[in-house]
Amino acid sequence: MNSAFPHTPEAVAEALPEQTASPATLDKTGESKKHSNRDEIERLEEENRFLVTAYTVTTGALGASLFVPELFTKFAAYAAGTIGTRFVLKRAQKVISVLKHTKALDKAFAEQGVEIFTELPVPDHGSLDMLVKFPNPPKKAVFAIALRSQGKATIFYNEGKECFQFRRGTGMKTWTPDHIERLSIQGYWLRMNQSELFGTSRNDRNRPLVKVLCLTGDTKIGTHGDHLYTQVGDQRVLLIERKSSIFVLEEHQLEGFIQGWLTQSNKPKTPKTSMSGNQDN
């Protein structure tokens, strides 16, 4: 193997198609144009195709009879060994998850004018997987959604330690990073630095952010005390309240949760349902 090939995830990432998930784009006249969920979906689909091919090259499944020099050159970063392979697989799983839920929410809420922004980078704090905005009255709302998996594991919230933990087999481990803190930081940074994501009016830009930790794949929520649950529409979900609050649910609940929130947002506020998890900090 050529030692000039990159051997780190950072170097591998440089070979990915450039991600252009920005809150606002410009047309040929320099004027901003309406956000397109279709553009987000097409970008994710393009990267997914790239990663599938890259993984094929990395694992050696691409036979010599199918060898294409240009293809090999493009994906050379992935041919460095197991580090590249693991990175590609992990990235592919994330892209597939974001793509799946972007398509589902776009289809479910198209009539409400939903706008979905994906993979918004926040310096030193990763990327927000999905920012889902309902810009039209009477159901204006903004959701910050983190899609997370711990494989075949069960997630618990430890009230004493104020942290999420996961159980895989018999052991219990702390789940890092702190998803409540991270979502709070991401929401705050985006509001301060990309306020156009939230809308054009002062009210829109000050609109509370609904933070959601959505467990994907085989990762499930364990059983908790009744006081940690809340009802949003027909979905019973965890509501973890600290300095910042977060709703925790499984991916099959996401669409119903959002629909329930939009319905409840037009009703009088209740002590511990839709309004208590809104603050960015």
Mean pLDDT score of the chain: 81
> What pTM did the predictor assign?
0.79
Query: Averaged over 163-184, what is the pLDDT?
Result: 93
DSSP 183-197: HHHHHHHHHHH-GGG
Helix axes 37-58, 82-108, angle to 10 degrees: 150
Whether pLDDT at 205 is above 90: no
**pLDDT value at residue 142:** 96
Query: Averaged over 254-278, what is the pLDDT?
Result: 70
Among 180, 10, 219, 237, residue whose Cα is nearest residue 97: 219
Q: What is the pLDDT of residues 208-224, one digit of tens each?
A: 899 999 999 999 999 99
Among 179, 122, 171, residue whose Cα is nearest residue 146: 179
**pLDDT value at residue 99:** 96
